[in-house]
């Protein structure tokens, strides 16, 4: 029954991606973001370089990719947002709807603080104009700067989502992603031709397993979910605009490959430069914003490379924030029958208000910042990133994989995935096993890791 479930026959025709390439670029755009260019390099730097990269790749291929197929299948099956997708399978009264509701809420919250960081990236692209010579700490503590930048970034996100699936999200992803690729190649070229770059390349590529800890393995697993936009229904929502003729596995593989290539390329932009400049790779989250401008300032053509780099980071963040907003918007459009315009404007407004405490949590308001009510080390933004962006995604992926593997049924999910593809029975049965057993188990380990505070 479940695989026949879906929207009622009299429902208005649902928007769909205009082309296969359009879907792949939009989904890859969702995946590729601050996670690849800001988070991955600093985690790899902290995790000892090559060894982290290898574990991360394993997590992406072994866990992230099969789970991505599952989210896409669930979305396409029902052609609905995360709540509607679950409802189509278990009905209106099931407690499983809470998981869908959590996805929508997580979309709201992640979008709020994600837009703050993206706003910094926008600000750094034009920093010589708006705040020349200002250090990172002063920059992020300036309420006028961060709130204006947040508003600007969120405003652009709203405009794109207002345009709808094909004319907004798909059209812009098709333009922005290729631009991003070209810009990255440019920065890599600059970075690897610096004197002393070789040491960075070998740190990045030669795995040294002697320093590998469970903590690093857990961090690599968490990063795999974050970077592929998994665990909060973004890929359920994007899958819901997929036609039944599309091949979920092939399209999904493209998304994984693009996302992984961009993350690996981000490493090639950053590590050679860091080593050439003698900077510590384990600098942490500040790596991009504090260290790189320093690195750029010391290298030939650095001004241009710096501006290019932060434009690129903003573009990557935009194609991700679009998908975060779309999860929430699709819920209100599908389930509450709001118009797209009304949803975008109301949700955008609320997200902006919710983002303000995050924006002010880097020194502008001491009680919201590190050392205030959220603990000695993190402010409101870090608190949200930890409990929603990390623990929340892991919990989401855990419950959704149980839901897909056991409640909907791995065989039903496999049937959905089979439509439009010619996957062999052996591959399918391996996939079903992974969805039912491997993923919930591994994710449980991540969650226990978070809870016991290893991360």
- Which parts of this chain interact with ligand PHE (CB under 6 A)? 30-31, 33-36, 110, 226-227, 229, 232, 234, 320, 323-324
Task: Report d(CA 220, CA 455) in Å as an integer.
Answer: 11
Give whichever of 34 and 434 is closer to ligand PHE, judged by the CB atom: 34
**Which residue is nearest to ligand PHE, using beta carbons?**
35
Give whichever of 187 and 322 is closer to ligand PHE, judged by the CB atom: 322
Q: How far is the CB of 419 from ligand PHE (least distance, A)?
A: 25
Q: Which of 72, 14, 80, 26 is nearest to 327 (CA)?
A: 80
Give whichever of 218 and 230 is closer to ligand PHE, judged by the CB atom: 230
Task: Report d(CA 29, CA 320) in Å as an integer.
Answer: 6
Is 118:314 a contact under the CB 8 Å cutoff?
A: yes
Give whichever of 2 and 83 is closer to ligand PHE, judged by the CB atom: 83
Q: How far is the CB of 70 from ligand PHE (least distance, A)?
A: 15
3-state secondary structure 106-149: HHHHHHHHHHHHHHHHHHHHCHHHHCCCCCHHHHHHCHHHHHHH
Is 267:284 a contact under the CB 8 Å cutoff?
A: no
Is 116:36 a contact under the CB 8 Å cutoff?
A: no
Q: How far is the CB of 292 from ligand PHE (least distance, A)?
A: 17
Q: How far is the CB of 156 from ligand PHE (least distance, A)?
A: 16
Q: How far is the CB of 35 from ligand PHE (least distance, A)?
A: 2
Give whichever of 31 and 400 is closer to ligand PHE, judged by the CB atom: 31
Give whichever of 118 and 141 is closer to ligand PHE, judged by the CB atom: 118
Q: How far is the CB of 34 from ligand PHE (least distance, A)?
A: 4
Give whichever of 232 and 368 is closer to ligand PHE, judged by the CB atom: 232
Q: Which of 352, 309, 266, 372 is nearest to 121 (CA)?
A: 309
Q: How far is the CB of 431 from ligand PHE (least distance, A)?
A: 22
User: Count of H helices and E strands in the chain?
Assistant: 23, 0
Task: Report d(CA 216, CA 225) in Å as an integer.
Answer: 15
Q: How far is the CB of 230 from ligand PHE (least distance, A)?
A: 7
91: left (phi over 0), alpha (psi -120 to 50) or beta: left
Is 36:227 a contact under the CB 8 Å cutoff?
A: yes
Give whichever of 77 and 314 is closer to ligand PHE, judged by the CB atom: 314
Give whichever of 230 and 435 is closer to ligand PHE, judged by the CB atom: 230
Give whichever of 275 and 398 is closer to ligand PHE, judged by the CB atom: 398
For residue 35, give Cα distances in angstroms to 32, 389, 402: 7, 11, 25
Is 329:343 a contact under the CB 8 Å cutoff?
A: yes
Q: How far is the CB of 312 from ligand PHE (least distance, A)?
A: 13
| Spatial CB neighbours of 260, under 8 Å, sequence gap ≥ 6 | 57, 60
For residue 454, give Cα distances in angstroms to 44, 169, 213, 214, 286: 17, 38, 10, 8, 21
| Spatial CB neighbours of 244, under 8 Å, sequence gap ≥ 6 | 76, 419, 420
Q: How far is the CB of 1 from ligand PHE (least distance, A)?
A: 30
């Amino acid at each position: 029954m479940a695989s026949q479930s879906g929207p009622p026959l009299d429902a208005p025709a649902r928007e769909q991606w205009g082309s296969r390439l359009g879907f792949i670029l939009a989904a890859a755009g969702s995946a590729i973001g601050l996670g690849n260019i800001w988070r991955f390099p600093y985690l790899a730097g902290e995790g000892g370089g090559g060894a982290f990269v290898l574990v991360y790749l394993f997590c992406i291929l072994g866990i992230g990719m099969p789970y991505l197929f599952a989210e896409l299948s669930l979305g396409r099956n029902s052609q609905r947002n995360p709540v509607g997708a679950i409802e189509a399978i278990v009905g209106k009264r099931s407690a499983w709807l809470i998981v869908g509701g959590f996805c929508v809420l997580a979309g709201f919250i992640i979008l709020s603080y994600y837009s703050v960081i993206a706003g910094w990236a926008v600000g750094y692209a034009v920093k010589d104009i708006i705040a020349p010579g200002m250090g990172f700490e002063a920059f992020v503590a300036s309420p006028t700067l961060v709130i204006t930048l947040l508003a600007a970034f969120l405003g652009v996100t709203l405009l794109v989502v207002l345009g709808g699936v094909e004319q907004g999200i798909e059209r812009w992803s098709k333009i922005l992603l290729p631009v991003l690729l070209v810009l990255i190649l440019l920065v890599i070229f600059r970075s690897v031709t610096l004197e002393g770059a070789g040491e960075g390349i070998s740190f990045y590529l030669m795995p040294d397993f002697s320093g590998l800890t469970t903590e690093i393995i857990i961090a690599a697993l968490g990063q795999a979910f974050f970077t592929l936009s998994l665990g909060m229904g973004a890929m359920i929502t994007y899958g819901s605009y997929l036609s039944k003729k599309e091949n979920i596995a092939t399209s999904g593989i493209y998304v994984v490959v693009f996302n992984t290539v961009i993350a690996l390329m981000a490493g090639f932009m950053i590590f050679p430069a860091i080593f050439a400049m003698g900077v510590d790779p384990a600098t942490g989250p500040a790596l991009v914003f504090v260290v790189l401008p320093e690195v750029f300032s010391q290298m030939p053509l650095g001004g241009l490379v710096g501006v290019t780099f932060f434009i690129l980071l903003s573009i990557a963040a935009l194609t991700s924030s679009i998908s975060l907003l779309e999860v929430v918007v699709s819920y209100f459009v599908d389930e509450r029958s709001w118009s797209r315009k009304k949803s975008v404007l109301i949700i955008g407004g609320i997200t902006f208000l919710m983002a303000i405490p995050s924006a002010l949590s880097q020194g502008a308001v001491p009680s919201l910042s590190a050392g205030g009510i959220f603990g000695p080390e993190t402010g409101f933004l870090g608190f949200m990133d930890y409990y929603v962006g990390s623990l929340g995604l892991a919990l989401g992926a855990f419950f959704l994989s149980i839901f897909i593997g056991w409640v909907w049924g791995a065989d039903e999910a496999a049937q959905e995935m089979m439509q439009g593809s010619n996957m062999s029975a052996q591959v399918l049965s391996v996939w079903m096993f992974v969805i039912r057993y491997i993923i919930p188990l591994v994710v449980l380990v991540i969650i226990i890791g978070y809870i016991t505070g290893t991360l």
